[in-house]
Amino acid sequence: MRIGVLTSGGDCPGLNAVIRSVVHRAVVDHGDEVIGFRDGWKGLLECDYLKLDLDAVSGILARGGTVLGSSRVQPEHLRDGVERARGHVEDLGLDAIIPIGGEGTLKAARLLSDNGLPIVGVPKTIDNDIAVTDVTFGFDTAVGVATEALDRLKTTAESHELDILATAIKQPLVFVEEMSQSHSLADQPIRRCKRRDAIVSASAIRTRPLDGEPPMFPINITS
C-alpha cells in the first residue's frame, strides 16, 4: 500500500507526532510506503511531495510546527482542482490520502472523498470544534499551556499588586474557563475581578481602566 499524508491550515501542537505515527505504523507494522505532500492541499494539487521513511521522521516528535509545511487553499481552487488531484493520486499509485487538519481541511477532504478519492481524515485543532469528534489533536496541549500560563500570571499579579488582563488568540481561554474549574484564574470572560486576580477574556477587550480603577496590563497567551 502507498499512502500520502499532508498537513493543512493553522498551527497546532502534535502535527509532527501524527506524521511520525503514520509513518511508523505504515512502514514498521505493515511494510507500506508513505509520501508527504508539501504545504497541504497545495502540494497535492501541484504534485509536490517527498518520501517519508523512518529516517525522514527521526527526531521530529518534539518539534513544533510541521515538517511538511502548511497552506490554506480556497475551496473554489480545490473544487476546480479535483480532477487534477485525482490524476496525481492515480499517477502516484496512492491507496489513501491522510489529511491532518481542522474544520476547513476536513471540509476539503469531504469534497475530495465525495468525488471518489480515498481519504482518511485526522482532526487537529486547539478549538476542539470538529463534529462527531470527542477530542482533537492539539486540544489537550493547548489547555495545558494556557492553564500553566495563567498560574504563572497569578503569582506575578500577587507579588506586584497588579491587575493583569490575559487575552487569547481565537478561543483557547474559553475552554480553559470550562475545563479548569479548579483554577481560580479560570474566571468568567470579561468580568472585573478582585485586585491581584487575572482577568480572563476570550478576545482582546478594553485595556484602559475606568475612572478610579488601577491600570491593567494586557498579555496575549498563545498555545
Q: How many CB atoms lie within 10 A of CB 214?
A: 10
Catalytic residue among 11, 48, 91, 127: 127
What DSSP letter does each residue of 17-45 carry, written as one string?
HHHHHHHHIIIIIH--EEEEETTTHHHHH
- Our CA angle for 86, 130, 95, nearest 5°, is 25
Q: Are 24 and 54 a contacting pair, CB within 8 Å? A: yes
3-state class (DSSP) for residue 99:
strand
Cα gap 73→39, rounded to integer Å: 10
Cα gap 60→144, rounded to integer Å: 21
Query: Helices marked H in the chain — which ranges?
Result: 15-24, 30, 41-46, 75-80, 82-92, 103-114, 139-160, 172-179
- Our CA angle for 201, 203, 208, nearest 5°, is 75
Is 134 known to be catalytic? no
Q: Cα-flanking dihedrals φ and ψ of residue 9, to 5°? A: 90, -160
Q: Which residues are tagged catalytic?
A: 127
